[in-house]
Structure 1
Amino acid sequence: MTLSSRGRRTLSLFSSSAPSNWSKAVADAEKIVGYPTSFMSLRCLLSDELSNVAIQVKRLVGTQHPLLHTARDFVFDSRNNLPTRGLIVLLLSKAAGPSHTASDLLAQDTVSGIHTSQRNLAEITELIHTAFLVHRGIVDLKEWTVSDGPLKDMEFGNKIAVLSGDFLLANACTGLAQLNNTKVVELISSAIGDVVQGIYNENTSNTEENSLDVKAWEEHTFLSHGALLAKSCQAAMELAQHDKEAQSMAYTFGKHLSMGHKLNSDLLPFVKSSAGESATFSFSAAPVVFHRQIVGQERWSQQLQQVKTRRNELDYSKLLAAVKSEKGVSTAMDLCCYHGNKALEAIQAFPSSEARSGLENIASAITKF
């Protein structure tokens, strides 16, 4: 379903190396919604079908297939906060509260300020996100060499990645249909299409030769990282029968929050790395894209040649230093703060509450480096 390259590409896990203020904001938010989002992952992991998938994944132990690392992070690394998208949907639902025009039947099915359908939507959003994380682990076998490990291990890993990712996506679509809301189905279905298009665009531009300009970067990033959260936030308002204005504010919040978070993730190797530390970053990371546009394609090509080793491989530590020497990093930081502020502005019309404060803390956390 999705393509993957063996290039240096990071997966936005929301967030794999987030600063402590982000982790605190997420932990506080879970208390506010009264629904630990780890439960969403647990429900999925306890299903018989996925347990069978997990048994198959164990066969990859000892190989270098990326799916094994994705599964390990999903189960063991609580710092990744994988369910954060669902958490934001829940928090936004609680902050907005019920619509003034909501029916009595809708109000009766509300617990702790969040409607059951909105909780289901949060789980659906997480299932979709996790499905794409699994699909992103598919290895491009055309680039595989004997030194990378046995080919049969990679082929088996790819089969499991496709099947398990499709299984999660199918379950999400089933749950989506059960919400019985045509507009919500349209929103989330279009978000799935956006993610597919965004990931395809990433894979065709994440190389030395294929360069992105800033406008294209923003378009691709929204598709692959922003559309799902933005449209899920809008869908949460639709389920509570809020008007178009509230839905627009929710969409705007989700869009800018996800864009800001992606910028924050892209910036981490450039603002947290120390001298001599091994650098890992993508050519489609925001600081690299902005740096390349600032210095121009000709100078960028010269810099790539200067940091190549005798084996014609790139020295990423030297390349990172070259990018940090210009304004690409500061430009990305400014844009991150812009999106964080826009996210904060979008929710000011919601009533002042603990839930809104939780959203504000999360939006503020993405501007900290």
Structure 2
Amino acid sequence: MQVLLLMATALNVHLPEPIPNGGAPMAAELRARQQLLAQITEMIHVASLLHDDVLDDADTRRGIDSLNFVMGNKVSVLAGDFLLSRACVALASLGNPEVVSLVAKALEHLVTGETMQMTTTTEQRCSMEYYMQKTYYKTASLISSSCKAVALLAGQTGEVATLAFEYGRNLGMAFQLIDDVLDFTGTSASLGKGSLSDIRHGIVTAPILFAMEEFPQLRAIIDQGFKDPKNVNLALEYLGKSHGIQRTRELAAQHASLAAEAIDSLPETIDEDVQRSKRALIDITQRVITRNK
């Protein structure tokens, strides 16, 4: 939500004159619509987390008992469904067909990404291309589409809207890549589902995929799966000997750099609020890749 509000300020330049006959100023009306879009995005995001925790049978979320653990799967699913329904009602109230289509597509991508993760074949599980596509669907699509929607609401050009989209896409990819690193290097108190959550659920992420490039014998372990704790330990041994963690961090840094470049490419302005927001958006790209939780 913070990203979208900063993006809104960064793009709200050359606004039309106030509405005549005592109506609300266009700037205030636009800001309210963009704030609503940020709220919609947050509702969708939280709903996806509630559903993810049910699908993954997670007991914790950021070190706190998950809703499904406390209240059961049915309540958690219904809570997610309720948030999605309220988000859809609010989205329709924006009255912008292109924005509605964008966010609806991101919702479709969330489901597609989860389905890809649940139905992956052994070949797909070992494919970096497949992993990156799934990561875009599950993590980066919502923020990239929402950033673009903010630009569209502001009446920006297609070029500027594309830059906003690229910022969100690359920021989302960088965030997930670091999340995948932290699943191996972090602690259960600071991570969403606890350390080694992905590999214990049979989910192969970038660090392991990079490690497999250095140690092809890791492929046989992946093919066997990780239900046996011995295979988890073997995979971790290979990961420790490889540059998998380092290469994943480097890939995240590349995406963060691309996100920052997108902001740098936005139209120049002397407006101090716009300049501050652009600097904050760039700062976020660095915070994403240096975080430890």
Q: TM-score, structure 1 length as denominator? A: 0.63
Equivalent residue, structure 2, for 1:356: 278
* Residues matched between the structures, number: 261
SS in 2 for 1:237: helix
Amino acid at match of 2:142: L
Q: Which runs of 5+ in 1 are unaligned?
A: 1-85, 142-152
Equivalent residue, structure 2, for 1:72: none
Quote the Cα distance in structure 2 between the aligned partners of 1:364 and 1:221.
20
Q: Is the 8 A contact 2:11 2:154 kept in 1?
A: no
Equivalent residue, structure 2, for 1:149: none
Equivalent residue, structure 1, for 2:239: 323
SS in 2 for 1:284: coil
Q: Is the 8 A contact 1:288 1:328 kept in 2?
A: yes
1:281 deviates by 4.0
Amino acid at match of 1:300: R
Are 2:203 and 1:288 equivalent residues in the alignment?
Answer: no
Quote the Cα distance in structure 2 between the aligned partners of 1:312 and 1:228.
35
Q: Is the 8 A contact 1:99 1:241 kept in 2?
A: no
Select between 287-296 and 175-184 the one with higher mean Cα deviation: 287-296
1:176-209 alpha-carbon deviations (Å, 9 max, x no partner): 000010100000000000111011112233x988
Q: Which runs of 5+ in 2 are unaligned?
A: 58-67, 188-193
1:265 deviates by 1.1
Q: Is the 8 A contact 1:93 1:114 kept in 2?
A: no
SS in 2 for 1:242: coil
1:336 deviates by 0.6
Equivalent residue, structure 2, for 1:341: 257
Quote the Cα distance in structure 2 between the aligned partners of 1:279 and 1:171.
33
Equivalent residue, structure 2, for 1:137: 53
Equivalent residue, structure 2, for 1:128: 44
Amino acid at match of 2:253: C
1:267 deviates by 1.0
Structure 1 252/197 Cα, relative in aligned 2: closer, same or farther at 3 Å?
Answer: same
Structure 1 170/279 Cα, relative in aligned 2: closer, same or farther at 3 Å?
Answer: closer
Equivalent residue, structure 1, for 2:60: none
1:118-150 alpha-carbon deviations (Å, 9 max, x no partner): 000000000011111111122589xxxxxxxxx
Quote the Cα distance in structure 1 between the aligned partners of 2:143 and 2:238.
34
Equivalent residue, structure 1, for 2:109: 194
Q: Is the 8 A contact 1:98 1:107 kept in 2?
A: no
SS in 2 for 1:115: helix
Q: Is the 8 A contact 1:109 1:116 kept in 2?
A: no
Q: Is the 8 A contact 1:221 1:259 kept in 2?
A: yes
Equivalent residue, structure 2, for 1:67: none
Please show how residues 212-223 of structure 1 align to structure 2 within 5 Å: 212-223=126-137
Please show how residues 16-27 of structure 1 align to structure 2 within 5 Å: none
SS in 2 for 1:241: coil
Q: Percent identity?
A: 27
Amino acid at match of 1:245: E
Please show how residues 1-369 of structure 1 align to structure 2 within 5 Å: 86-99=1-14, 102=16, 104-105=18-19, 108-111=25-28, 115-139=31-55, 157-205=72-120, 211-272=125-186, 279-282=195-198, 283-296=203-216, 298-302=217-221, 312-314=228-230, 316=232, 319-350=235-266, 351=269, 353-368=275-290
Q: Is the 8 A contact 1:88 1:359 kept in 2?
A: yes
